């Protein structure tokens, strides 16, 4: 018991300060050097500054606190007060989470922003039902195909071991005749090194972060879709903050969203140059591959609309207005 007396004394002395400061954990699945994580870190710094040090947010990158599929549940259950998720990972839970993973529905930054606008009200409503709130969301750069050899048509992907990171990328592989293997970002480098993965679709950002150029030599720039990362907060944890601190969080989140989208755009070109510099060949998709991918995209949209029902139809209609 005596051992704990100094700690108790210190706690009493610091009582006022300890009560005044709130600490949040914010897990992310991506490396500290990824632009999403850098944006998160800036967000945490902005909150600290704007709240006068009342709210300290610790960012835990690279799946160090929770693995990618566990983050949403951790925030829902209050094990972490906030967290960053890739929305498309949760499509099986609710189809609308997967809207921005549908090939060629929204295939540019402007279209992606338009889809986000259409998706946001229903997304916020669903998250609120789950005890969560959306702080902000940022699109990844457009998705292309990383492969060992040039891909001129869907036939070239037949039987290829294809890394899937979401229900949509898994379904895409099936429709293209590839063999889907579920691998999260943190394990991708090892999966390529051991031959578990021979091809995958992602952005130049993931390709560079995982040093894909050491294993796969081609990137076909299909610009198929721009999935979004969403930063969520536990609603009860947010509600427990005083009003000025809540305002500081919301302002920092709005700034992070605007900054994140413009960084994503700028980084896309930068990543292409970095991949080239490291020996990767950047390929424009052939007309045949484009046609094959469009066909698969339409099939996936039809399937999705069937599963998503009136909610999905409402999102697509609002987006296409």
Q: Name the token pair of 109.
A: 């930054």
pLDDT at 2 over 80: no
How high does pLDDT run on average in the chain? 93
pLDDT at position 16 is 44
Q: For 307-320, how does the pLDDT look when each residue is reduced to its tens digit (9 = 90+)?
A: 999 999 999 999 99
If you compute the radius of gyration of the chain from its CA atoms, what whole number of angstroms results? Answer: 21
pLDDT at 10 over 80: no
Average pLDDT on 152-159 reads 96
State the DSSP code for 27.
E
Q: Two tokens at 215?
A: 């294993």
Beta-ladder partners of 137: 230
pLDDT number for residue 186: 85
String of b and e for 13-22 (b: at least 16 CB within 10 Å)? eeeeeeeeeb
Give the Cα-Cα-Cα angle 260, 265, 269 (nearest 5 degrees).
135
Mean pLDDT for the stretch of residues 271-283: 97
Distance CA 63, CA 29 (A): 4
Q: Who's near 314: CB < 8 A, 6+ residues apart?
A: 122
What Å distances lie between residue 76 and 4, 227, 235, 290, CA to CA? 33, 22, 8, 40
Q: In angstroms, how far apart are the furthest CA atoms of the chain?
A: 77
pLDDT in tens, 168-215: 999 999 999 999 999 988 899 999 999 999 999 999 999 999 999 999
Per-residue pLDDT, averaged over 87-101, amounts to 95
Q: pLDDT grade, residue 20 (50/70/90)?
A: confident
Region 132-153: what's the mean pLDDT? 97
Query: What's the confidence (pLDDT) of residue 11?
Result: 47
pLDDT number for residue 4: 54
How far apart, in whole angstroms, are the C-alpha atoms of residue 58 and residue 97? 26
In the numeric block, which tokens belong to residue 194?
């051991």
With contact defined as beta carbons under 8 Å apart, do 49 and 106 qualify?
no
Instruction: Quote the tokens at residue 5.
Output: 């007396």
Main-chain dihedrals φ then ψ at residue 169, nearest 5 degrees: -70, -25
* pLDDT at residue 3 is higher than 80: no
Q: Which pLDDT score is estimated for 14? A: 47
The DSSP element (H or E) to which 140 belongs, if any, is none
SS3 55: strand
User: pLDDT tens-digit profile of 202-255?
Assistant: 999 999 999 999 999 999 999 999 999 999 999 999 999 999 999 999 999 999
Lowest mean pLDDT among 8-17, 76-85, 180-189: 8-17
**Full-model pTM:** 0.88
What SS3 string covers 79-126?
CCCEEEEEHHHHCCCCHHHHHHHCCCCCCCHHHHHHHHHHHHHHHHHH
Other CB atoms within a 10 A radius of the CB of residue 299 amount to 14
Report the distance separating Cα 116 and Cα 139, nearest Å: 9
In tens, the pLDDT along 158-169 reads 999 999 988 999
What six digits make up the tokens of 162? Answer: 């294809």
């Amino acid at each position: 018991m005596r051992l704990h007396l100094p700690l108790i004394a210190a706690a009493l002395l610091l009582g006022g300060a300890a009560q005044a400061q709130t600490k949040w954990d914010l897990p992310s699945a991506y490396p500290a050097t990824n632009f999403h994580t850098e944006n998160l870190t800036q967000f945490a710094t902005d909150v600290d500054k704007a709240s006068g040090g009342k709210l300290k947010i610790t960012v835990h990158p690279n799946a160090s606190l929770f693995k990618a599929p566990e983050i949403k549940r951790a925030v829902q259950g209050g094990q972490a007060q906030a967290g960053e998720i890739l929305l498309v990972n949760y499509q099986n839970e609710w189809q609308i989470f997967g809207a921005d993973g549908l090939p060629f529905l929204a295939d540019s930054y402007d279209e992606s922003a338009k889809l986000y606008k259409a998706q946001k009200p229903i997304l916020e409503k669903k998250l609120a039902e789950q005890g969560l709130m959306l702080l902000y969301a940022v699109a990844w750069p457009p998705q292309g195909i990383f492969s060992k050899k040039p891909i001129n048509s869907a036939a070239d992907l037949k039987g290829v071991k294809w890394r899937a990171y979401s229900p949509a990328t898994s379904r895409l592989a099936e429709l293209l005749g590839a063999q889907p293997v579920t691998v999260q970002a943190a394990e991708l480098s090892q999966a390529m090194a051991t031959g578990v993965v021979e091809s995958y679709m992602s952005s130049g950002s993931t390709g560079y972060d995982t040093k894909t150029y050491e294993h796969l030599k081609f990137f076909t720039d299909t610009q198929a879709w721009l999935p979004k990362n969403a930063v969520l907060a536990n609603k009860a944890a947010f509600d427990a903050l005083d009003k000025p601190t809540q305002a500081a969080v919301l302002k920092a989140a709005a700034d992070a969203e605007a900054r994140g989208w413009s960084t994503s755009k700028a980084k896309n070109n930068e990543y292409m140059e970095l991949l080239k510099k490291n020996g990767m060949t950047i390929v424009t998709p052939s007309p045949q591959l484009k046609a094959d991918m469009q066909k698969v995209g339409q099939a996936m949209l039809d399937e999705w609309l069937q599963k998503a029902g009136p909610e999905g139809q409402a999102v697509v209609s609002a987006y296409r207005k």
